[in-house]
Homo-oligomer: A and B are copies of this chain.
Amino acid sequence: MTQQALLLVDHGSRRAEANENLLHAAEAVRECAPDLPVFAAHMELAEPTIAEAFAECAAAGAEEVIVFPWFLARGRHVREDIPRLCAEAAEAHGLRNLVAEPFGVHRLLAELALERAGLR
């Protein structure tokens, strides 16, 4: 069976607090999927970079990296920059990679918006 890893990629920021958000997100995903190796990377401005995270995935024995763009919408970063950086990093480590759709619009987001708004 193919060894899969999930890599969450956000934009990256100069603010440590913004970057830490993705680490908390990765922790939340691990709680939902305890057997899945989950990694995190920033597209730019902060480490770990996408290249560094693919190296971690390879070192952990992954054969295929599923990249989830931690973005609400499918803008240029999600459509172009992240797939390009991931393809380069995957090739460097002989890994397969697949970039998933970002959050987009979904009933779960609608429910969370209502919860955050105190309306649920």
Q: Which residues of A contact B (CB under 8 A)?
A: 4, 6, 8, 10, 13, 15, 18, 21, 24-25, 27-29, 31-33, 36, 66, 68, 70-73, 75, 98, 100-114, 116-120
**Secondary structure of the A side of the interface?**
mixed
Contact A107–B73 (Cβ < 8 Å): no
Chain B residues within an 8 Å CB radius of A13:
75
Partner of A105 from B24, B100, B102, B109 at Cβ < 8 Å: B24
Contact B117–A32 (Cβ < 8 Å): no
Contact B73–A72 (Cβ < 8 Å): no
Contact A111–B108 (Cβ < 8 Å): yes
Chain B residues within an 8 Å CB radius of A109:
25, 28, 103, 108-109, 112
The docked-state distance in angstroms from the alpha carbon of A81 to that of B24 is 25
Partner of A117 from B68, B73, B104 at Cβ < 8 Å: B68
